[in-house]
Amino acid sequence: MNARLQRWRLVLGALMSHWRRRPLQLAMLLAGLMLATTLWSGVQAVNAEARASYAIAADRLGTGALPRIEPAGGARLTTADFVALRRAGWMVSPLVEGRLRAGAARVSVLGIDPVTRIGLAPGGPAGPGTEGDLGAFITPPGLGYAAPDTAATLAGADLGGLRIVIDEDAPANTLIVDVGIAQALLGMGDRLTALAASAGQPDGVPPLERVVPGLIRTDPQGGAADPAALTDSFHLNLTAFALLSFIVGLFITQSAVGLAFEQRRGVLRTLRALGATRGEALGLMAAELAVAALVAGAAGIVLGWAMAAALMPGVAATLSGLYGADVAGSLQFRPGWVLSGIGMALAGTALAGARGLAQTARMPLLAAGMAAPWAQATRRGLRLQAAGAVALVLALPLCLAWGGLVGGFAALACGLLAAALLLPVVLDAVLRLASRGARGVLTGWFVADTRQQLGGLSLALMALMLALAANIGVGTMVGSFRGTFTGWLDQRLSAELYVTARSEDEGRRIREWLGPRSDAILPIWNAEATLEGQPGRIYGVADDPTYRENWPLLAGAPGLWDSLAAGRAVLVNEQLSRRASLRIGDRIDLPGGAMPIAGVYSDYGNPSPQVMMGLDEFSRRFPDAPRLYQAVRVAPDRAGSLAAELADAFDLPAGAIVDQAQARRVSLQIFDRTFAVTAALNVLTLAVAGVALLTGLLTLASIRLPQLAPVWAAGIPRARLARLDLLRTLLLAAATGAYAVPVGLGLAWMLLAVVNVEAFGWRLPMQVSVPLLARLALAALLTALAAGALPALRLARITPGRLLRVFADER
């Protein structure tokens, strides 16, 4: 056994001494793995943190595990209904949910009744209110439980004397108070949002409908409002991006591992000739790769943690902005993503090393240590790649037909992989054409040499193409989103001022005051309602040219504004139209009776269904809806002074009056923050592709001296050879960039027309941005320049002795 161990140590030492002599190659191998793991585990850490936040919210709020009873079709649910149900024997507990503005931030408020809540899920967490002073919790001004970050946000906010208690287990960005305190804070009177119900009700309780008509019971996780379900698309999106980056990182690893296998063919042959078995050689090479995977994987996880910590605030902003889900902006250690990172590093290394190991296993003992067939694009290899690409293209419509988010992403993967596989085939064809037209001996050599190098560089160029296509695709999607969003904001925020009153009485007085001082006052009142089974909102709007001329309609029946004003029809937002398959002319169930749909409008950034109706019809159906909010039309140059006068006249707090420019600015800020994560991942992917290119070039540089030495000997100076090398890299990058444009635009179309519709329920018009394409073309060239500079510099400085040795070695 000792002899065997000694032998393994020796063989491993001989194999690993290769890396000692080539530290740069080792660095590239580790860097590739590390970068791949960093991006993967970073995104997994972000996802794990967000999912943990949802789970905490579900556990802590009692919204996850327990069924809910909610008012159907916008009916009211009051404290009296709750009392009636309790008296009838129903095991229910009241819930009040809403959003509270605290300075620039908005915090979710959750009102619970700690006493009735405990009986619903015996053995579950007791939760706030039961762990401290119950009397202080339920008696005004009350106690409010909040996580440290939320408590900091609320510091200084006017909460009517509420005392904040730090609760490490509280859900992110949420204030938990007694139900009565929540009603007061949110101005809801005696209204409740829902009732949490025990999963098993006592025998003999009367049916819900008989006790309180107009209520519906929903099972846990079944509603569209469940943040975990709502945000699945976002997390899938991030995971897809991480997987793409992981694959790009693996290209670096594959490049380094492939070259190392080729360069060690001779050593392997010698080792086996001297008595090492095939199994030992293979096993030890696999062990060597596994050690590299573990080392680089561990480093990648540490970097991934740092990356996730940097991204987390952006992710929290995205989830809040797009989905209304509250997620902590900080990061905790979770074993799940660490194991996933190590697992991916090992799996990725196995994938990257599989070819080399298989070749080693098949390699006859007497095969000559061939000069880097790794670097040669064989005709058979190109044919196989083309065949693979065709197969993937054929699979694409099948994925689309499968449908859903997973089908959409699978179609994206097929398209991108097919395009990547075809890149070397296309470049080879272009170079073959170029070789026919090449004039002059040096040009001819340049084209032929470039073609010969294609095999060695193809993986790196594929990585660059994928990174550029992802940048173009995602950049175009975000650009389209932003462009559409900006246009939509202009239409939607067409009034000059938006004013929120503190009470209905103040609202009425404000409207009277504004009457002679403005061109028009447009009350915007709303009520919560369940729309096609999902919680949503119904708005009542005035009949005014502001809407008729500006509202962002996607489709509308003739005379829709007249129908709306007369209370004969309603408008629905795009999300509701798509999710419930509602078209113009269809009828929609609403509190107070169904109404026909006269139009569909775009409503970006809102995850919930929405309905618009005429103000008179709204007032008739929702007499108790708070009348606090109104838009004001006034000459734009008078808006500022009118806002100041209004604030003075009513002593309105900051934030009660929002002017159009401010609202637009804040909305765009939220939008940009929302997509900061995507932008960061874009840059990282491109950087990884740059490293992949550098690896490819450096490894090629080390094995292509035999091709360069004769040209140098024939009279081409080293500096010129270096310039030609750099030019070749730039030309290949430019060609790859040009190829990436249609691929990226195809990706953008898929994202906008398939993935986004599945994820958000909206379809955005695609807007191709020429500046974005120009910027990325420049980025491709700069990446190539950065990657090509070092190998070119090394070539320019190579000693004649090293070039001469090529001839000596060829004796």
Partner 1 sequence: MNAVPDLRDVVASARGLEKTYRTPGGDVPVLRGVDLTIRRGESVAITGESGSGKSTLLHLVGGLDAADAGALNVLGVDLGTATDRERAALRRGGIGMIFQQFNLIPSLDVRANLAFQARLADRHDPGHAAALAEGLGLGALLDRYPEQLSGGQQQRVAIGRALAGNPPLVLADEPTGNLDEATGDAVADLMLALVRRQGSALVLVTHSPRLAALCDRQVHLRAGRLA
Chain residues that interact with partner 1, rule: CB under 8 A: 2-3, 6-7, 10-11, 13-14, 17-18, 20-21, 266-267, 269-280, 365-366, 811
- Give me the helix-helix angle, 23-61 and 2-21, nearest 10°: 100
Cis peptide before 636 (omega within 30 of 0): no
Residue 613 is inside which H or E element, if any?
Answer: strand 610-614
Residue closer to partner 1 by CB (options 18, 537) is 18
CB of 264 vs partner 1, minimal distance in Å: 9
Closer residue to partner 1 in complex, CB, 267/782:
267
**Minimal distance in Å, beta carbon 451 to partner 1?**
25
Pairing of strands 163-166, 143-146: parallel
3-state secondary structure of 684: helix
C-alpha 696/C-alpha 473 separation (Å) is 25
Shortest CB 281 distance to partner 1, Å: 10
For residue 279, the minimal CB distance to partner 1 (Å) is: 7
Quote the least distance from Cβ 368 to partner 1, whole Å. 9
In whole angstroms, give the CA distance from residue 511 to residue 508.
Answer: 5
Residue pair 145/218 in contact (Cβ under 8 Å)? The answer is no
Q: Output 104 or 366, the one with its CB closest to partner 1.
A: 366
Q: Are strands 570-573 and 595-601 parallel, antiparallel or unpaired?
A: parallel
Instruction: Decide: residue 716, CB within 10 A, 0-12 exposed, 13-18 middle, 19+ buried.
Output: middle
- Least distance between partner 1 and beta carbon 810 (Å): 12
In whole angstroms, the minimum distance from the beta carbon of 292 to partner 1 comes to 16
Residue placing its CB nearer to partner 1 in the complex, 51 or 269: 269
Cα separation, 527 vs 71, in Å, equals 12
Q: How far is the CB of 365 from partner 1 (least distance, A)?
A: 5
- Contact criterion met (CB below 8 Å) for 26 and 291: no
Q: Which is nearer to partner 1, 6 or 443 (CB)?
A: 6
Q: In the numeric block, which tokens belong to residue 593?
A: 């009776």
- Specify the residue, 7 or 355, whose C-beta has the smaller distance to partner 1: 7
Long-range contacts of 483-489 (CB under 8 A, 24+ apart): 483/767, 484/602, 484/604, 484/764, 484/765, 484/767, 485/604, 485/605, 485/667, 485/668, 485/671, 486/668, 487/552, 488/552, 488/602, 488/604, 489/663, 489/664, 489/667, 489/668
Non-local (6+) Cβ contacts of 278 within 8 A are 272, 361
Query: Which is nearer to partner 1, 232 or 280 (by Cβ)?
Result: 280
SS in 3 state form for 463-477?
HHHHHHHHHHHHHHH
The amino acid occupying position 709 is A
Residue 548, token pair as written in the block: 């008729």
Tokens matching residue 580: 């419930």
Nearer to partner 1, 25 or 253 (CB): 25
Of 21 and 210, the one with the shorter C-beta distance to partner 1 is 21
Q: How far is the CB of 757 from partner 1 (least distance, A)?
A: 55
Of 280 and 543, the one with the shorter C-beta distance to partner 1 is 280
**How far, rounded to the nearest angstrom, does the alpha carbon of residue 477 sit from its chain's CA centroid?**
12
In whole angstroms, the minimum distance from the beta carbon of 25 to partner 1 comes to: 12
**Listed residue (156, 127, 116, 158) closest to 141, CA to CA:** 158
Closest approach of Cβ 153 to partner 1, in Å?
59
Beta carbon of residue 350, minimum distance to partner 1 (angstroms, whole number): 23
- Can you spell out the DSSP letters for 380-431? HHHHHHHHHHHHHHHHHHHHHHH-HHHHHHHHHHHHHHHHHHHHHHHHHHHH
Residue closer to partner 1 by CB (options 279, 437) is 279
Cβ–Cβ < 8 Å for 99, 107: yes
CB closer to partner 1 out of 21 and 87: 21
